[in-house]
Amino acid sequence: YTIQAASSMCPVMALAPQPGERVLDMASAPGGKTSYIAQLMKNSGTLVASDLKRERIKSTVANLHRLGVQNTIVCQHNGKDFPRVMAGFDRALLDAPCSGLGVISRDQSVKIQRTMKDVQRNSHLQKELLLAAIDSVNVASPNSAGVVVYSTCSVSVEENEKVVQYALEKRCVKLLDSGLDHGKPGFARFKRCRFHPSVKLTRRFYPHVHNMDGFYV
């Protein structure tokens, strides 16, 4: 077994990978979600776990070895370039690098280490990565459209709804129900921002409401 936060399991539950599929975990290290995906796939099909940093990949490999995962290819790639490396996946998970504002309840240092510029810089990267994740999934025919799950451990609109709205504007995609029966709906409006009404289908998790890390799926 491996221990992980309840909130970290939500993106994989929303992804709902099936045995025999081709699945991409775009920012996989240290492999907690990767191992859960492999479990739901019943160790069959092909799971590609990629990450940018070689040092972090070591922990992914170690975890997968320990857990007996055999259907996974671990590789080191910049997520932004991934569609040029390989594509045609049935499903893709992007648990994006973020400010970590959702984990303040157990890591107080986040409050003094993050600035608004960090959040904006993350948002720019997240938009690039999400478009790359969308471009990596299968669009061979109208009946076999791929599924992409985007998640962060942040509660900021800049890193969440704004990124999803950007993807809706830049790619031919639509939002589906996450299949998660807990969490609050995403914001369709926030201050001066107005988002597509379907953004309400996304889910927000709050420490003081759901007894788990702040998270967005």
Which residues are marked as active site? 153
Per the omega criterion (within 30 degrees of 0), is the bond before 207 cis? no
Please spell the DSSP secondary structure of 57-108, one letter per residue: HHHHHHHHHHTT--SEEEEE--GGGHHHH---BSEEEEE-----GGGTTT-T
- Distance CA(198)–CA(217), nearest Å, equals 13
Residue with token string 């029966």: 181
CB atoms < 10 A from the CB of 84, how many?
11
Which residues sit opposite 194 in a β-bridge? 189
Residue 54: burial class (beta carbons within 10 Å; 0-12, 13-18, 19+): exposed
Strand 91-95 and strand 22-25: pairing? parallel
